[in-house]
Amino acid sequence: MKQYIVDAFADKIFEGNPAAVCVMDKWLSDDIMKKIAIENNLSETAFVVKEENFYKLRWFTPGGEIDLCGHATLGTAFVIANYYDTNATDFRFHTLSGILNVKKSSELFEMNFPSRMPKKIKVTKEMLFALGEEPNEVYLSRDLMFVFDDEDFVKNYTPDWTKLCAVKEGIGFLITAPSKEYDFVSRCFFPKIKVNEDPVCGSAHCNFIPYWSQRLNKKVMISRQVSKRGGTLFCEDHGERVIIKGKVVLYSIADINI
């Protein structure tokens, strides 16, 4: 079975967020897909099968299957466009989060994702203990989102994984702040599912985009995830949907012997 490793939201290799993509004729067992994700030890491995005029897409982290992943979806569209259906410019994926559409436009791949405006909640003692710094605001959807005013805090933050895992709420921990160079910056941590830091997280922007669109009164924004690898996302707020655009580059092609 062919496996492609790509860097999403990147201009060149070793930037953005790496993901493995396995395009298959038929589904493997969940157990095998979990083992492949563990073996890859990347934040996500995508598995995709073509069914009629659409693709069925699933994502696995080393900790198990998840319901939404942006960078691996972007990477899957790139792989299909370059190696399987080279004339296609529109890709339709059926996923645990519903139907996701991706368009190819020149060097950019454009994802149409559900908007997930998180609910504002009160900060707890456990959150403060885990963060080590009091946020301006806290929000919750699938993940916890902590809003700060200091861009440098987000860039320089050093997490304590044990403390973050002890917080009951949320799967992931997202931190964000306004930016001088971009519209906003962020970092994303998922130690509960064995991904300490997700270098560039598309699904987190389903939260970031509606929040920052309201706060900045802007529909079109540029975001920078300020992890060590870094990545740039071109964002649009369309009400119930968000548009996330980025570039993808190929790192490697390999054969998995199963």
pLDDT, tens only, 175-208: 999 999 999 999 999 999 988 999 999 999 999 9
Which of the residues 15, 44, 151, 197 is marked catalytic?
44
| pLDDT at 212 (0 to 100) | 98
* Closest by Cα among 195, 129, 197, 188 to 164: 129
Active site residue 44: yes
Which residue ranges in the chain fall short of pLDDT 70?
A: none
Q: Which tokens hold the place of 137?
A: 């605001």
| pLDDT at 53 (0 to 100) | 87
Write phi, then psi, for 153 (nearest 5 degrees). -60, -45
pTM for this predicted structure:
0.86
What is each CA distance from 142 to 139, 171, 195, 218, 223, in whole angstroms?
Answer: 10, 6, 15, 24, 20
Spell out the domain ranges in the chain: 2-110+246-255, 119-243
DSSP state of 234: E
| pLDDT at 106 (0 to 100) | 86
| pLDDT at 147 (0 to 100) | 98
> Cβ distance 230 to 199 under 8 Å?
yes
Alpha carbon of residue 105 to chain centroid: 20
Alpha carbon of residue 239 to chain centroid: 20
* Closest by Cα among 94, 102, 105, 5 to 49: 94
Topology at the third CATH level for domain 2-110+246-255: Diaminopimelate Epimerase; Chain A, domain 1 (3.10.310)
By percentage, how much of the chain surpasses pLDDT 90?
A: 95
For the chain, helix (H) and strand (E) counts, in that order, are: 6, 18
Q: Do domains 2-110+246-255 and 119-243 have the same CATH topology?
A: yes
Domain 119-243: CATH class, spelled out: alpha beta
Helical spans, DSSP H, in the chain:
30-40, 70-83, 125-131, 151-156, 161-165, 205-216
Q: Which tokens hold the place of 15?
A: 């930037």
